[in-house]
Amino acid sequence: MTTTVLAAGDHFVLPRLLTRELRAAAPDGAVLDVRELRLPWPHTPFGPVAGVDEASGTEDELIEALSGVRICLTQLAPLTERVLTACPDLELFCVSRGGPVNADLDAATRHGVAVSYAPGRNAVATAEHTLALILAAARGIGDVHTGLKRAVWRGDYYDYDNCGIEIDGSVVGLIGFGAVGSRVGRVLAAMGAEILVHDPYVRPETVEGVAVLVPLDELLRRSRIVSLHARVTDETKGMVGAAEIAAMPPGSVLVNCARGALLDYDAVCDALDSRHLAGAGFDVFPAEPVPAGARLLSTPGVVLTPHIAGASREVAHKAARIVAEDAARYLRGEPLAHCANPRVLGK
């Protein structure tokens, strides 16, 4: 029997990557009819679509593309109640992201559609980008780069009060020690930093030999560099605000490559303006794209990147491979490795 598959990629996780990885992973003898659709992200920003978040494309184009399709591999296509109702042949929706936020899981479960995802796909890339921002913020690279591009030679960065700090011998605090935070911690420890971790979900033996688990107030009080790696929950939203930044030592550095909702950015700007913070590095923001008049764009001491920490060619290949392997498991009748709504599989 032929299985019809939709590879709904975009300009990052390309449709041909999804197709190639699926054909490589598919069980022997599987007959696949693979259709390809390219969604407009990142040339067109993602956003909410009919109740799901961070989606690309429209319900109408997906409904048309899913006609007769049993399995869909995608990164950002919107799986909504309307799409599910219009596409009764769909059985498996594979999202090549760390979480399937562009899929309505409750609706998928009601319609009997399994949703899988790709945890850890960008952990290495995000960890490396975090390290780049830590180093850039600690040494003021953002401001001196901007000055030099304008033919301004910032020799004043040799002034003692303007000099950056070294990783070796510094105390670095990591808020969160998952796939990204743990990689950052290991590299910084190898560079000579003392690593403190606050993460209520991590056991002491997990950090042994690399870091020490401490309460958040101790981490903030002792760390010259603080990097955020927590997930956004009701408990973590706004977890670092004016009071937490004030608790950090004068001249500290703050970095966030996790989620903008964790941090009060106005408080960051205040701390940079007063020079309580010596530097900061951000890849994520409360509103994306960053509005033209945002304070961050004119505040000194900040290194900014446009939410690209997870953008590497290796990530695109890993993402495609992870979901293709789960689709292959489904074709073989095996349990999915990363199912977001496992109740469906028991039916």
Per the DSSP assignment, residues forming a β-bridge with 37 are 8
Question: What's the topology of domain 123-304?
Answer: Rossmann fold (3.40.50)
Separation of CA 227 from chain center:
14
Spatial CA neighbour of 217 closest among 238, 251, 240: 240
Q: What is the pLDDT of residue 19?
A: 98
Query: Looking at the annotation, which residues are catalytic?
Result: 259, 288, 307
DSSP conformation letters of 202-220 = --HHHHTTTEEE--HHHHH
46/65 Cα distance (integer angstroms) = 19
d(CA 211, CA 334): 38
Token readout for 73 is 């591999």
Closest CA to 225 of 244, 259, 248: 248
Alpha-carbon distance of 70 to 32, in angstroms, equals 11
Polymer length in residues for the chain: 347
Segment-wise mean pLDDT, segments of 10 residues, the chain, 347 residues: 96 98 96 98 94 95 98 98 98 96 97 97 97 97 94 92 94 97 98 98 93 97 98 94 98 97 98 97 95 95 96 98 98 96 84
Sequence ranges of the domains in the chain: 2-121+312-346, 123-304
- Give the C-alpha separation, 103 to 53, whole Å: 8
Q: Peptide bond preceding 204: is omega within 30 degrees of 0, i.e. cis?
A: no
53: enclosing H helix or E strand: strand 52-55
Distance CA 211, CA 338 (A): 29
276: buried, middle or exposed (CB in 10 Å: 19+, 13-18, 0-12)? middle
Q: Residue 345 has what pLDDT?
A: 82
pLDDT score of 347: 62
Helix intervals (H) in 191-336: 204-207, 216-222, 242-247, 265-273, 313-332
The yes-or-no answer to whether 2-121+312-346 and 123-304 have a common fold is: yes
- Give me the CATH topology for the region 2-121+312-346: Rossmann fold (3.40.50)
**Taking the alpha carbons of 162, 167, 171, 174 in that order, is the dihedral positive or negative?**
positive
In angstroms, the CA 312 to CA 172 distance is 26
What are the beta bridge partners of residue 252? Answer: 277
CA angle 48/52/53 to nearest 5° reads: 50
For the record, the structure tokens of 278 come out as 């010596």
